[in-house]
Structure 1
Amino acid sequence: CCELGRVEVGLGVYGRMLKLNLVPDTGMFNTLIKGLCAEGRIADAMILFERMPEMGCPWNAYTYGLFVKGLCRTGNTRLALEVLHGKATQSSPCKPAIYVYNTVIDSL
């Protein structure tokens, strides 16, 4: 849904899953975060990004890449740097891949 620009449909599925006590996987979170960032809904994407570890769904390098790229594309490079340095979110055992840092450098 989100890949087709229908983020609200994806968020609806996410909401129904939560009501049924189903935990979304990393792939679903990544898709929602990517869609929200594409629509410029950074605050909503941040909420999902922060909620992932709370729900037992770990971030991966792809998650970092999607979120940081979305932040940079919307002019939020400072927040992208904070995410990378763990100041805006909880610590993660996952380390971002080098291309994530390159994304930030390219946006400066």
Structure 2
Amino acid sequence: MLVFAYVRNLEMHSAYEGFKRAQDYGFKLSLTSCNPLLSALVKENRIGDVEYVYKEMIKRRIRPNLNTFNVFVNGLCRGGKLNKAEDVFEDMKAWGVFPNVVTYNTLVDGYCKRGGAGKMYKTEAIMNEMVAEKIFPNEVTFNTLIDGFCKDENVLAAEKAFEEMQKQGLKPNTVTYNSLINGLCNNGKLEEAVDLWDMMVGLGLKPNIVTYNALINGFCKKKMMKEAKKVFDDITEQEWFPML
């Protein structure tokens, strides 16, 4: 209760100390306090402390559940420790806990954000493993994948992922369209980007500041200032007007 209360009140130093001191008195904490503590430490990017708490939980025989593993994988991915994150998958099986779509999505996101050669190859391999385990990608999976391909300047692969997403009966949202529009604009495919924008609006999805910024940036790069100005003027016709 004490550790949980400290976490709820964002007093992380005290929560962390409480977790450590409980062992001194021989108290075995429960997941009611350990999981929120792990999650809060991840949010504060205290990855070293996240690893300590996880290892202590195992040492103290506090049985982790799926949420524990998902939070820990997220922390490792945030810290760029992707090899360790993959090792956790093996830990999960040893505990009789199996990864779900959230676990895989976290790892996919970690590799997409890592950068460097071969990151998307690894991401696709994870997705293939995911499907082999009969855990099917959701909107978050595809959004992450599309964004990763676009940032890797592989718009063709992003478009294929976009098509596959729809084949599987999943509906692209504003995040999906924004990633693809931005990728197309960065690759000079402005006509395709505008067509995608029209498709987005036709489906009842409302463009946001990210959408407009991508289009304006794309037109400016091509020195198509008249078109950029037209998109900018369209912003003022919306119900909201972003701070510029």
User: TM-score, normalising length from structure 2?
Assistant: 0.39
1:97 maps onto 2:210 in alignment: no
> Residues of 2 paired with 1:74 and 1:10: CA distance?
22
Corresponding residue number in structure 2 for 1:46: 159
Deviations 1:74-104 (A, max 9, x none): 2111111122223xxxxx7451423214421
Residues 1:13 and 1:38: Cα distance change in structure 2 (over 3 Å) = same
Residues 1:94 and 1:50: Cα distance change in structure 2 (over 3 Å) = farther
> Residues of 2 paired with 1:17 and 1:55: CA distance?
15
Could you list the runs of 5+ residues in structure 2 that have no partner in the other structure?
A: 1-110, 220-244
Contact 1:36–1:45 (8 Å) recurs in 2? yes
Task: Name the aligned partner's letter for residue 120 of structure 2.
Answer: V
Task: Name the aligned partner's letter for residue 59 of structure 1.
Answer: P
Corresponding residue number in structure 1 for 2:190: 77
Once the two structures are superposed, the pairs formed by residues 1-108 of structure 1 within 5 Å of their partners are 1-5=111-115, 6-86=119-199, 93=203, 95-99=205-209, 100-108=211-219
> Residues of 2 paired with 1:19 and 1:103: CA distance?
36
Task: Compute the RMSD of aligned alpha carbons.
Answer: 2.2
* Bigger radius of gyration: 2
% identical equivalent positions: 26
Residues 1:45 and 1:74: Cα distance change in structure 2 (over 3 Å) = same
Higher relative contact order (CA 8 A, sep 6+): 1
Task: Name the aligned partner's letter for residue 146 of structure 2.
Answer: I
Query: What is the DSSP-based 3-state SS (H/G/I as helix, E as strand, rest coil) of the residue aligned with 2:205?
Result: coil
> Residues of 2 paired with 1:14 and 1:62: CA distance?
20
Deviations 1:10-69 (A, max 9, x none): 111112223334321111111111111111111110000111121122111111111111
Could you list the runs of 5+ residues in structure 1 that have no partner in the other structure?
A: 87-91
> Residues of 2 paired with 1:65 and 1:94: CA distance?
14
Structure 1: 4+ residue segments shifted above 3 A? none
Task: Name the aligned partner's letter for residue 217 of structure 2.
Answer: D
Count of paired positions: 105
